[in-house]
A = this chain, B = another copy of it.
């Protein structure tokens, strides 16, 4: 019952709106990993032409949020352990550079502080999506504050995959969000103290933790489904 796509706010164009919507559904885990997304299906669900749907899928594929090869239908990927490691290696590369740059001028991004507040607020209830959103927003703000268009662009792509992977584990969360909050605070403190070394070290620790959480969840899931 979507009716007419008369929502002309936000995204200027139809393609943009379509892209945003599908992207959201993917990273939020509404579309399960492994699920097929044909051009025709998208075109049908949103009442758009197939070329429009095609453009959307191609964009998502370029960002790593979909996998597809020529003449095969796109599927939502499920990152295996080695890919999660690769993802976090690149993520660490980008974010280390970011926090180092910020610490050098002792610049604490206001947006990151705001995201921290939002995360603390969401830690109480079980608003998973909100927690993940706030986490993403925190790291995003960190990199954005550096002011490098290209660094931010790279980071955006990486965070997309991170979001996707986190979204797929939503149901099985196991860690207390306050741990994450404290790790974030450590990073901000090091930046505020103008200590690049410590900031990088804290960041690396935080990302190692996060990566570990994902990997262990992945493993648990695998043994679980092997038992069936």
**Chain A residues close to B by CB (< 8 Å):** 12-13, 51, 55, 58-59, 62, 64, 70, 86-87, 89-90, 93-94, 96-97, 148-151, 154, 157-158
Closest CB in chain B relative to A120 CB, distance in Å: 30
Closest CB in chain B relative to A64 CB, distance in Å: 8
List residues of chain B with CB within 8 A of the CB of A59: 62
Q: Are the CB atoms of A93 and B51 closer together than 8 Å?
A: no
CA distance A55 to B97 in the complex (A): 33
For the complex with contacts A89-B151, A90-B150, A93-B151, 8 further pairs of A-B residues with Cβ separation under 8 Å are A62-B62, A86-B148, A86-B149, A86-B150, A90-B151, A93-B94, A93-B97, A150-B158
Report which residue of A59, A86, A93, A154 has the largest number of chain B beta carbons within 10 angstroms of its beta carbon: A93
CA distance A90 to B151 in the complex (A): 6
A87's contact among B51, B62, B150, by CB below 8 Å, is which? B150
CA distance A94 to B151 in the complex (A): 10
Report which residue of A51, A70, A94, A150 has the largest number of chain B beta carbons within 10 angstroms of its beta carbon: A150
